[in-house]
Amino acid sequence: MDRRKFLRGSALVSTALILNPFDLFAQNKIKPNLSTNSAKNIIFMISDGMSSGTLAMANLYNKQLHGKNGNWINLYEENKVKRALMDTASASSIVTDSAAASSAFGGGIRVKNGVLNIGANGEHHVPIWQKFKKAGKRTGCVTTVTITHATPAGFCVNSASRNAEPGIAEKYAEIGIDVLLGGGDEFFNSAKREDKKDLYAVYKKKGYQIAKTKEELAKSQNNKSLLGIFNTGAIPYTIDHKNLSKNKSIPTLAEMTKVAIDNLKDHQNGFVLQVEAGKVDWAAHANDVAGLINDQLAFDETIKTVMDFAEKDGNTLVIITTDHGNANPGTIYGADVNKNFESILNYKYTNEHILNEIHEDFNLQEIKDWIVETNGFSLTDDEAKHMLDFYKGLDKEEGLYNFKKLPFKFFSEIQKKHNNVGWISMDHSGDYVELAMYGPGSDLLKPFVKNTDLHKLMLQATNVNV
């Protein structure tokens, strides 16, 4: 198809739903599951930090690239799922962090930002994957960030700090989470841990298979515990994963998820699996549109992997959502918005990669040539000069994940002139978020819920009482 003609004559339609949340909270008590068609398995999918604008832009991009909707939107169009809005607040704020959000799902109670399943008075709430393990199910987590990060940890452990990742890695082994796939070599490798503990050896002693490459993952045996750690830090962003040869031995989110399902699916008592696209959140923090859209599409590809299994299986509840919004990106009205948004198809790398390749000794022409090569547009002399000033220690930009304090915000403002994508911030937002469910137990979902309601719903959908 001629992608340049795709958006001509199209209209973007938005709808607003007017609700009284207090009335809804009063009415939406989850009812007991009286159906005999209970779920044997649960696959809980989280696109971390996905604002509604992220879902919309990724779908538009997919239509430009492939001429069709993505898998998430198709589930809506084909009326295959129950759909709701979800309130994501924590105990300490109307704007949650990932630890408190995951604890709402995992522990069934709202906790303060920064902690995992520990209440205000120090009480420990049993995480839901431990409940399911006690009920005889196998358990797993898959993520594109460190496997010890807040979102997977919230389903599995109690911790006074989400940052205690070395300890979280040890707790997974003690609990016996059956499948763990993601990044975070620094929390398992004796050469990188401060205490020099060799956690790979600990896991091997407990009978785990260890995979460190895509090839080793593909050769792993089903029905046997599996630890797959494929990078120091997070898994690379999807667009960099595709376009940088150094990343070819690292599996994608969909590949990891397929292996996890195959490993777990034959257990007689069923399984529960969490799947997280963690770098959607990181890209939103950096206002990085290429990183954001491509990682959201990687999540969307993983939805197909999950749904292909769930539709054939018939006994699996699939939950698709996010833990909170982040940066609220979206397309901005303008005469050239269609053409400008379409220019993102020319972006070759994340802003993270682009900005890390710029050095203080670049001259103006070199930095301008680099942006043309990687984004397809030209900087003005003033823009190029200001960009270089960042690398000389001036005007350093703040941001949660901008560990080198590179000019992420400044560069995204330049990109906005060419792609018509704007951002409200570089941090989380308190929006109500998308929630979709498929399979047995999805009939329990009401149109408006609190994040803690999903804990109860999962237990009721599976008829697990622990």
Q: 417: number of CA atoms within 13 Å, CB side?
A: 10
Alpha helices in 108-246, H assignment, sequence order: 128-134, 150-154, 165-175, 199-205, 214-218, 238-243
Binding site as annotated, residues for Zn(2+): 48, 281, 285, 323-324, 428
Q: What is the distance in angstroms between the CA of the first residue and the CA of the last residue of the chain?
A: 54
Q: What does the block give as tokens for 430?
A: 């308190």
The residue assigned the tokens 């900005």 is 355
CA 114 to chain centre: 18
Do residues 461 and 316 make contact, with C-beta atoms less than 8 angstroms apart? no
**Residues taking part in catalysis:** 98
SS3 182: strand
SS3 181: strand
d(CA 179, CA 104): 22
Binding site as annotated, residues: 48, 149, 151, 276, 281, 285, 323-324, 428
**Pairing status of strand 316-321 against strand 226-229:** unpaired
d(CA 128, CA 410): 42
Q: What does the block give as tokens for 62?
A: 């997919």
Closest CA to 86 of 465, 464, 455, 461: 455
SS3 149: coil
Binding site as annotated, residues for Mg(2+): 48, 149, 151, 276
Task: Report which DSSP code applies to 186.
Answer: G
Q: b/e per residue, 257-285, with b = 16+ CB within 10 A?
A: bbbbbebbbebeebbbbbbbbbbbbbbbb
Q: In what order do the strands lie in the sheet with 41-47?
A: 209-211, 226-229, 179-183, 138-146, 271-277, 41-47, 316-321, 433-438, 82-87, 448-450
Q: Hey, which residues does 326 pair with through a beta bridge?
A: 428
**Pairing status of strand 179-183 against strand 226-229:** parallel
d(CA 390, CA 403): 14
Q: 283: number of CA atoms within 13 Å, CB side?
A: 31
Question: Where in 300-445 does DSSP place strands (E)?
Answer: 316-321, 325-326, 330-331, 421-422, 428-429, 433-438
Closest CA to 133 of 168, 178, 102, 180: 178
